[in-house]
Chains A and B, each alone.
Chain A
């Protein structure tokens, strides 16, 4: 009976278990994640250590140096009040990144809970939730966020709430579809034959297996939230000036595009870099967590 040799099959390096133990090592080995970190890392580093940098504060004005083009002293130039744009951009990044991650986290948690309930229990809960998400999904997310902001008011908290609420339906849909495909797995049936509770099935068998795709969706949602926040601020519905969100900076420079291109363009380029690197990050996460997609 014990004749089957006890040999560790060493020829499956891409399995989940191996990842489990070496997930971070492997993530850092992924080309896309490296690229994302190469862009995000310095930006975040500078953002965190901005107070220590030898530059003006983001709100400090200097009327003798208004609308200066980029120079050694002011790498991104200055705006109409003589505020240093590197400093303001970094402060804006701080707000944007916070908004991005807060939105992603909130949308992920809400989507996870509601999507799991809808997919697992089905029936009337599912139908009600799907009808509501369908209605939400019928609107473009920026439009929805504008609508919500006009109800909730402006400022950091309302913006985060508005954007995450407009993202939640997508997460619910995703989570529900994942749960539906997992619900009929044999290991769920095996647990049911020993009378495992619904809570046990959801927390032990279903949710752990949906985390990977949700993380991918969350990193895309973070990139999207940064763009939407910039959009809202640009429209004057987001973070209130003089707080320097990236959208506010672009709006400030908008009227001076011909005289001082740098005011809008350079913060805009930073948004682009952050958004692109978050997309690389999500692609990388997907590659690392899904053993099949390895090239």
Chain B
């Protein structure tokens, strides 16, 4: 587990500010029974969310995940139990005052259509009585944070923005007063899959810097696995079925319900939580043209493949060598097949597997950022990983945060819906 990125950003903050940045959240045996109903919507739900973590509430419709989230900012009052933020009961604070210190982002964004983007974002700061100068500076800062052009966006109305842009503004608005705790109810739900994945990645990268405590509601187990540090699976009647890390959930589902909900492909889903560089790759005998064949043949002892890979001067792969190529005194460039496709060390394992399958091969060379061979990924390697212990897996947030290169074109999404 590498959390180096996160800790470096934390270290830049003074200690007292860091404490302000994120809050501990604890739900203590919280229950909600609506009048006139025999079964509770939430049944003695207990959850602990550490400061700076994303806790995803996931489950089928009617499981009470949204209700559970709305109990936290008193949008719904519990029948029984208590909720503590940094150890203090939410009952001790007025609902409006409490909510101003908890970020709130919902599925259909809930942007105010009659207010400009700047006024939408500054809603909570205005309620808190910030002065105009501070508000203006904060609006620009937030627009930049969510990859929107402040000069272009500030004075527009929500109706002039594309769906993805609106959801970015929704997130910026939730972050406006820098709350230590955020509630997000399917904040990327209304988007097409491509935009959605982009927003998820952006948000995870943002969270890498901000390290807020977040309660995130979704019905989509894939989104839960990607976004969550910890996932709470709820079943009908607001009962907690399992509360665990994504990898733990996928490897050891607590019961039949969780197993079914996570899906029959749960082992495949683990592949989405892993990069190629994090697993043990096959070793391969490397050869250069003109090298002594004897030397190459000696390397076979240490190799997982019965043949060698031909490299150029920069150690880039040229092809798999045939047996004939290493039979003479010197290695010839007689290859049996091209060494394709090329897998990147930073590829997500799921994508790498797809690459192997779509090319109809059992194995392919893995290249580092300079294009040099650093091992071989094979179906067998992936199979071995799927049987390994879950502790070696990582969370989606960590994956996105240490992504070496940002996804190109982010934020300059064309506002195709603008003219409606």
Query: Do they bind each other?
Result: no
Chain B positions within 8 Å of A, measured between CB atoms, are none
